[in-house]
Structure 1
């Protein structure tokens, strides 16, 4: 992608750039939130370098809204670079595509209580494998996240990653893991090994087993531990629960409690029709982020109430992103316990 530099880009000095860039985040934010922009930029700008240790859960979306064009240009400058051969190299990063636009389905609280009870009951009844020492939790997903939506000098349409496969392996204690995301990570994947203590911001299976299964107590803990993390308390609570559900395995009783806790968050609604990244249509629990103007939707099978994936849909125009724009799309294709890192489910794995 070739862009002609504006005069502003050519004359921007470091002090002006520092003024335009967003202020640094709170140092107490989760690793996920700190790295969601940094990791993406570094992977694009330095495709041959070993990526920094990522969080144990994916960034919900990469937002470059309002970033000066000089910074945004760095994202595109290396798009399409191809490295071949040896371990640690990255294949060509697929060029971003225009974000899809969908009809905005209305949300309602009319069926919230009954819908959540159906979802929670199904979660409680679902058999969940218990990972043992030496085993790994395997999650295979299809994903697409926002790359860039708007810069100071370019009001082009929002761009997203093409839908692609992402595979994650995590040990029950959260200390060891692996991430394989062809085109977005070095060839063969990157390590998720970490000494970070498990928490709501970096949850392991063992940590999740310690959480209360009473919805009220669970929600109080979530509000307390995510207080002041850069968004409204309600949005932070909703996002945190969504992150616990998407790329992790949780005990059945806790999963049910998380859904019941989510129903108590002000602003949560039921969306009757939503589609995940795999094209599966279902019903959704959703919450609108009043700052960014997008609505995060957790999508469930209409008959079995099994979790399918998530979607981000712009519901009000912010920074030029038009309503109906899909800023994020995910689909969980497989969730299992396997006996070794990098092993895929089969004779040695137990599906979830």
Structure 2
């Protein structure tokens, strides 16, 4: 192998060495996977046609200064972004521009997720904030001496402020859970008692919606390694959703099975299922239900006081416990959310 070939082969990313006449002197195996075989000897323009990359190579050749740009392509499944680094090379008569293509698609996707997240948070906060500012202006002006309007507007303002408070609370909770996701909890907790305690804490909400519970819980403790507060939050989010979206007068089922083998995890596990007899969910939506701010019905969710973060929080907590979340639903058949947790660390 030539000196040029050895240099390029040592680069851990796709790399080309381009001579001053724009011929490719050498290419490594990763670049062959990106641009095809038989690259050595070909003219650069027959391999790369994106002007930004060609300009960066020409700029490095003329100035001998390193330059960076982006190379955009598609692998047949998704858009792929490469960070292109150009550096002048002149060793023992071997002169040219070393062009390295580093796949940064994951960084671009993470950046887009952050931008989408900020945009969603801004929207979710701006909507109630706009309403609050509007009512404040009205109370300072036309409704200043109208007692009935004041009472009605203050009630709406209280609901909008509560909506913002729930959103901030869930954002903080999600941030806390994500920060702990790699740290598996090892305290032994009684999952059956957590289910009962959570159901009792939501009795008022269930009564308000004329919802009745069907419980199938063992009469003995069911011990699992876990964080009691976080598991309580999982139960609260799932049961609240079942009550709110199941509809007035629906039935909510709480069932705890196991410990047993064959529940989808290695070794013995328990399965906690929260189900409802509501209208159900189109299977089209199920893969996205745990995404932040994803809603099947945005208007109804906001009316119910949802922040769009509840199931995202559930997913991260279940992941921290090395468990699995399964969602089953169909229109007219209700919904069933199952949390499967290992019984040993």
Q: TM-score range by the shorter chain?
A: under 0.3
| Larger relative contact order, structure 1 or 2 (CA cutoff 8 Å, min sep 6) | 1
Structure 2-normalised TM-score?
A: 0.22
Larger Rg: 1 or 2?
2
